[in-house]
């Protein structure tokens, strides 16, 4: 199957070009290649859109198996493709937990059947996410699912003995441990960022130090084990100082920030709308500012969505009972453009770096986040930088509708997504 993309602007730079794709690989890039058109060629007119490598999400909750009322691998894959993603890492806090070869292989196979995005299962670090006994990381790493990332996300690997051993295994297996950094001893009953807003609303506080101390501890453990540590959803400015020092010391540590922690603050909580409940919690304006600067600087490596769909019965309830989490896949690019590109903190090369190249490197995906060049896989997102849209949770592809951006008018639209030469989404619709 062959594809001709016309009038595209790679990385938003230079003249419009045409891109010829054969068997999923770019064979020619240049102006005026439309002559390459023949009967067998599918033509995609980019109409001046920015051509980027397809996005890679290191942190997605697809909820299958066990949480199909909130999301399935099919609905989550559709949301991913519509958001410009070509690969996602599916977190293991499912039911059953993805702590065995059987479950990770199921997730991989179902993702491949759906075929809209490469679904890479994340394996659990501990059996049942219980934090007590290490799961069989080696078995999952060597399975057909080729698990490259392990995490107990939703929970922290709180026990330093287990975290230390997991990092030693990770070093030997050449995989990465992704830590949800939250010292649970410091967050018992926590409902919101510990600060003036939580005090005023009478909500128990989640102190930023619960994140900072675990990241500091884990950087020390990763350094000793010479292991790759990835810090999930950084939310506190103080954590950035820890990361900067660890990186300067040569620790193999990477970090992500979510779109919501780039934009939203605990000021949103005054409505008591549980759509704003998330873990780690929304923090202060000083924290969001620090997140943006750290992302521009590279101390935070990537944007990852923490796409966390929850069906209405888990969200439309009083604050304390509501589950934490927010949709992210279809709004991620627009929030990055709004918070990073519009203020001049990132250009399109930078967007490619934080949404595609670095996540592909961290997750160990050799055929994603590649340069847009001849001989490389045709795995792309096409973005209309002048597009504007209004977020409506009910119109998103996810089964759940819990977006904190409801009603917001956001810049930039994903006009097409292409996975190895196959169009997976186009003009807001997924491929049949």
Can residue 153 be called a binding residue for Zn ion (CB under 5 A)? yes
Which CB, 180 or 283, lies closer to ligand DOR?
180
In the residue annotation, 384 being an active-site residue is answered as no
Interacting residue with ligand DOR among 84, 205, 325, 363 (CB under 6 A): 325
Which tokens belong to 352?
């490619």
Q: Is 64 in the site for ligand DOR (CB under 6 A)?
A: no
Dihedral sign, CA of 154, 157, 159, 162?
A: positive
Report whether 256 contacts 122 (CB < 8 A): no
Look-up: residue for tokens 């107990």?
152
The nearer residue to ligand DOR, 143 or 284, going by C-beta atoms, is 284
Task: Choose the catalytic residue: 306, 347, 386, 427.
Answer: 306
The answer to whether residues 81 and 417 touch, using CB atoms and an 8 Å cutoff, is yes
Structure tokens at 146: 């080729």
Residue list 44-63, contact with ligand DOR (CB under 6 A): 61
Q: In the complex, what is the shortest distance from the CB of residue 9 to ligand DOR, in angstroms, rounded to a whole number?
A: 36
Instruction: Give yes or no for residue 148 binding Zn ion (CB under 5 A).
Output: no
Number of residues lying near ligand DOR (CB under 6 A): 12
Determine the residue with CB nearest ligand DOR. 325
Q: Output the smallest distance, CB 2 to ligand DOR, in A.
A: 40
Q: Does 93 bind ligand DOR (CB under 6 A)?
A: yes
CA atoms of 300 and 355, how far apart (whole Å): 12
Note whether 213 and 236 are within 8 A (CB): no
Pair of tokens at residue 291: 């997140």
Among 106, 180, 310, 315, binds Zn ion (CB under 5 A): 180
61 binds, among Zn ion, ligand DOR, none (CB under 5 to 8 A by kind): ligand DOR
* Pair type for strands 2-10 and 17-22: antiparallel
Name which of 77 and 151 has its Cβ closer to ligand DOR: 151
329 Rama class: left (phi>0) / alpha (psi -120 to 50) / beta: alpha
String of DSSP letters for 149-210: EEE-TTS----HHHHHHHHHHHHHHT-EEEE----GGG-TT--EETTHHHHHHTPPEE-THH
Q: Give 13: exposed, middle or buried? Use CB within 10 Å, 0-12, 13-18, 19+.
A: exposed
Nearer to ligand DOR by Cβ, of 10 and 324: the residue is: 324
Residue 334: phi and psi, rounded to 5, are -65, -40
Structure tokens at 319: 């604050």
Residue (100 or 279) nearer to ligand DOR, CB: 279
**Interface stretch with Zn ion, choices 62-70, 141-149, 153-161, 371-379 (CB under 5 A):** 153-161
Order of strands across the sheet that contains 253-257: 149-151, 176-179, 228-231, 253-257, 302-303
Q: Which does 278 bind (CB under 5 to 8 A by kind): ligand DOR, Zn ion, none?
A: ligand DOR
Give the footprint of ligand DOR on residues 136-195 (CB under 6 A): 153-154, 180
**Number of Cβ within a 10 Å radius of residue 74:** 20
User: Which residue, chain included where needed, has tokens 């949480």?
Assistant: 67
CA gap 238, 399 in Å, rounded: 36
When CB distances are held under 5 to 8 angstroms depending on the partner's kind, the choice from Zn ion, ligand DOR, none that residue 93 binds is ligand DOR
Taking the complex as a whole, the smallest distance from the CB of residue 259 to ligand DOR amounts, in Å, to 13
Binding mask 283-322 for ligand DOR (x = CB under 6 A): -----------------------x-x--------------
- Give me the least distance between CB of 147 and ligand DOR, in Å please: 18
Q: Which does 324 bind (CB under 5 to 8 A by kind): ligand DOR, Zn ion, none?
A: ligand DOR
Which partner in ligand DOR, Zn ion, none is near 218 (CB below 5 to 8 A by kind)?
A: none
- DSSP conformational letter for 281: P
Q: DSSP string of 115-157?
A: -SSEEEEPBPSBGGG-SSSB--HHHHHHSTT---EEE-TTS--
List of residues contacting Zn ion (CB under 5 A): 153, 180, 232
Residues assigned a catalytic role: 306
What residue ranges bind ligand DOR (CB under 6 A)? 61, 93, 153-154, 180, 278-279, 306, 308, 323-325
């Amino acid at each position: 199957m062959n594809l001709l993309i016309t009038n595209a602007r790679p990385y938003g730079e230079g003249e419009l070009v045409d891109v010829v794709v054969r068997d999923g690989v770019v064979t020619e890039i240049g102006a005026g290649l439309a002559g390459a058109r023949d009967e067998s060629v599918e033509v995609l007119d980019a109409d001046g859109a920015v051509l980027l490598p397809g996005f890679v999400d290191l942190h997605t909750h697809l909820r299958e198996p066990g949480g199909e009322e909130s999301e399935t691998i099919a609905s989550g894959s559709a949301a991913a493709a519509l958001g410009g993603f070509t690969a996602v890492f599916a977190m293991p806090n499912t039911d059953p937990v993805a702590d065995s070869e059987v479950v990770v292989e199921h997730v991989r196979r179902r993702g491949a059947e759906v075929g809209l995005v490469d679904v890479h299962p994340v394996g659990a670090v501990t059996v049942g996410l219980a934090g007590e006994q290490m799961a069989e990381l080696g078995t999952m790493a060597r399975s057909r699912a080729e698990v490259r990332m392990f995490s107990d996300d939703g929970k922290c690997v709180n026990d330093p003995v287990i975290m230390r051993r997991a990092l030693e295994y990770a070093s030997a297996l050449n995989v990465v441990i992704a830590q949800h950094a939250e010292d649970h001893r410091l967050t018992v009953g926590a409902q919101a960022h510990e600060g003036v807003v939580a005090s005023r609303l009478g909500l128990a506080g989640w102190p930023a130090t619960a994140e900072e101390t675990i990241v500091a501890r884990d950087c020390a453990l990763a350094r000793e084990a010479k292991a790759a540590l990835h810090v999930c959803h950084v939310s506190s400015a103080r954590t950035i100082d820890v990361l900067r020092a660890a990186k300067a010391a040569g620790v193999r540590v990477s970090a992500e920030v979510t779109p919501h922690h780039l934009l939203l603050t605990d000021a949103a909580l005054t409505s008591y709308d549980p759509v704003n409940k998330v873990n780690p919690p929304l923090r202060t304006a000083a924290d969001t500012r620090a997140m943006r600067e750290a992302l521009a600087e590279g101390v935070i490596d990537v944007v990852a969505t923490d796409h966390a769909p929850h069906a209405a019965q888990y969200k439309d309830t009083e604050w304390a009972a509501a589950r934490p989490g927010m949709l992210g896949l279809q709004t991620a690019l627009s929030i990055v453009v709004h918070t990073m590109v519009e203020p001049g903190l990132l250009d399109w090369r930078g967007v490619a770096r934080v949404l595609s190249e670095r996540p592909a490197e961290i997750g160990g995906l050799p055929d994603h986040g590649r340069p847009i060049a001849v001989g490389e896989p045709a795995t792309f997102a096409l973005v209309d930088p002048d597009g504007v849209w209004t977020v409506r949770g009910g119109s998103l592809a996810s089964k759940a509708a819990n977006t904190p951006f409801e009603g917001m008018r956001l810049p930039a639209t994903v006009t097409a997504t292409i996975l190895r030469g196959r169009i997976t989404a186009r003009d807001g619709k997924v491929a049949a």
